[in-house]
């Protein structure tokens, strides 16, 4: 007796489902990766914003417990990290790749000197830590209410020192020089030799005596001077 085995015919949908189930699923971050990512962020210190994120991949699998992380370091140029952990009382060396991303504010439009930056003028982008760099402003709060010292462009990171308090004292424009010492208040006319915003130090020439003094901008067209009284013009 000969028995002929017929091939099993399955619906196409079942075959496709079986193929999909056979595909490897993306590996989820395990407790080891999560612990190392937390320790890595902590090791980078205050230079990294608190909302930074780390995508960490081990060079070789490790599923043991992490009792403690003794040391961890990151090379920002290559994105490679090395760590020494304690697992079940034994020291274990681990290494792999860590991509650190931070959120950075950028303007949504071109903003010119003299304009005051508002929250609606800004959006955020996510960048790798090495692209963000330490020379750029990392917080939108540090930009809102400030004024560009030079033109800043849409979509570009804002350099540290390129914004400041809005200019309220214009160079070569008249200002009021104010000297206060307790109940004593003196005022004189001056001409600003520098521009500045509230809190900035600027040089001002006393119009009456032609003496140049340095004071602090305290308001619109107003500069306060501490120390010796404002020199007055000599009487004839």
pLDDT, tens digit (0-9, with 9 covering 90-100), for 27-64: 445 688 989 998 998 888 876 777 788 888 999 999 88
Q: What CA–CA distance (Å, rounded) separates 191 from 215?
A: 12
**What pTM does this model have?**
0.60
Report CA 64 to chain centroid distance, whole Å: 36
**Would the CA dihedral through 140, 142, 145, 147 be positive or negative?**
negative
Contact call for residues 55 and 101 (beta carbons, < 8 A): yes
| CATH topology agreement for domains 102-164 and 167-225 | no
CATH number corresponding to 102-164: 3.90.1210.10
What confidence category does residue 24 fall into, taking pLDDT thresholds of 50, 70 and 90? very low
Map out the domains of the chain as residue ranges.
31-100, 102-164, 167-225
- Tens digits of residue pLDDT in 51-102: 788 888 999 999 889 999 999 998 878 889 999 999 998 999 999 999 888 8
Q: Hey, what CATH topology would domain 167-225 get?
A: SH3 type barrels. (2.30.30)
List, in order, residues 6 or more apart from 91 with CB less than 8 Å away.
Answer: 70, 84, 85
> Of all helices (H) and strands (E), which one includes residue 202?
strand 201-206
């Amino acid at each position: 007796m000969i028995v002929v085995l017929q091939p099993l015919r399955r619906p196409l949908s079942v075959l496709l489902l079986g193929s999909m189930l056979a595909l490897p699923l993306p590996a989820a971050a395990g407790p080891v990766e999560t612990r190392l990512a937390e320790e890595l962020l902590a090791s980078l210190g205050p230079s990294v914003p608190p909302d930074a994120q780390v995508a960490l991949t081990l060079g070789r699998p490790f599923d043991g417990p992490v009792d403690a992380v003794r040391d961890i370091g990151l090379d920002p140029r290559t994105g490679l990290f090395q760590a020494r952990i304690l697992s079940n009382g034994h020291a274990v060396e681990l290494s792999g790749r860590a991509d650190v991303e931070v959120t950075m504010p950028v303007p949504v439009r071109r903003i010119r000197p003299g304009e005051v930056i508002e929250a609606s003028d800004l959006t955020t982008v996510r960048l790798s830590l090495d692209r963000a760099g330490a020379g750029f402003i990392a917080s939108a709060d540090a930009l809102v209410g400030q004024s560009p010292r030079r033109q800043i462009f849409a979509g570009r990171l804002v350099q540290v020192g390129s914004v400041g308090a809005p200019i309220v004292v214009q160079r070569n424009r008249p200002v009021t020089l104010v000297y206060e010492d307790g109940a004593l208040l003196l005022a004189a006319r001056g001409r600003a030799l520098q521009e500045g915003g509230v809190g900035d130090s600027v040089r001002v020439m006393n119009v009456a005596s032609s003496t140049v003094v340095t004071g602090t901008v305290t308001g619109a067209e107003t500069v306060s001077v501490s120390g010796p009284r404002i020199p007055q013009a000599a009487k004839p």
